[in-house]
Amino acid sequence: MNSTQSLIRELEQEAATTRRLLAIVPTEKLEWAPHAKSMTLGQLAMHIANIPGNVTKMIHSDGMDVRNAKFAPPQPKSTEEIVSSFDSAMENAVEILKSWDEVHAGGPWRMSKGEEEVFTLPRTAVARTIMLNHWYHHRGQLTVYLRLLDVPLPVTYGRSADTNPFA
């Protein structure tokens, strides 16, 4: 299995868990935020939904200047909008990843701030860090938001306090 196939496999495996979480985000609470400095529930969920598609599109090129980046996720109007965005993002991400050969996958990707280099890493390392690890980080945040709103949590890895697949 090559590096791109491994990324696709992990992405698709984790997508089921992510989709389960996004599907239970309550539409009536999308404007809620746990703190004034936090994203709203809707913005966080939409960010999580869009990470696979946005990141693979971004790293398919040779680099990015962070001065041109837009880091404010949109505020969705419904849970259905979030899940639909996620499904599209996953489809786009897998399509882009399948187009990579090993040379492109291992090729350098550069993040800069103007002329200043922030980092240069192999494209697959950026995919692992900015796409997958970043995704898991925000997915964990989403479980905290949902817990604070008393939304029963589905299984992520093993059981949750609300769902026990082993019982």
Within-domain flag for 87: yes
Within-domain flag for 16: yes
What is the chain's Cα-based Rg? Answer: 17
CB atoms within 10 A of CB 151: 18
Within-domain flag for 13: yes
> Any residues with CB less than 8 A from the CB of 120 and at least 6 apart, and which?
63, 108, 109, 110, 111
Instruction: Tell me the C-alpha distance between 88 and 107, whole Å.
Output: 26
Within-domain flag for 46: yes
Instruction: Tell me the C-alpha distance between 28 and 36, whole Å.
Output: 19
* Per-residue pLDDT at 71: 79
Instruction: Tell me the C-alpha distance between 82 and 49, whole Å.
Output: 6
* Per-residue pLDDT at 94: 97
- CATH number of the domain within which 66 lies: 1.20.120.450
Within-domain flag for 164: no
The distance from CA 100 to its chain's CA centroid, rounded to whole angstroms, is 20
Within-domain flag for 29: yes
Confidence of residue 115 (pLDDT cuts 50, 70, 90): very high
Confidence of residue 48 (pLDDT cuts 50, 70, 90): very high
Confidence of residue 67 (pLDDT cuts 50, 70, 90): very high
Closest CA to 31 of 130, 139, 118, 149: 149
Note the helical H segments in the chain: 3-23, 41-60, 79-98, 102-106, 123-126, 134-148
Q: In total, how many domains does the chain have?
A: 1
Within-domain flag for 160: no
* Per-residue pLDDT at 156: 87
Kindly report the CA angle at 73 between 105 and 123, in degrees rounded to 5? 10
Closest CA to 60 of 4, 2, 114: 4
Are the beta carbons of 55 and 134 closer than 8 angstroms? Answer: yes
* Per-residue pLDDT at 2: 87
Decide if pLDDT at 70 tops 90. Answer: no
Higher pLDDT, 129 or 71: 129
Decide if pLDDT at 163 tops 90. Answer: no
Mean pLDDT calculated for residue range 125-149: 96
Decide if pLDDT at 159 tops 90. Answer: no
Within-domain flag for 59: yes
Decide if pLDDT at 44 tops 90. Answer: yes
* Per-residue pLDDT at 165: 81
Full residue range of the structural domain in which residue 58 is found: 3-148
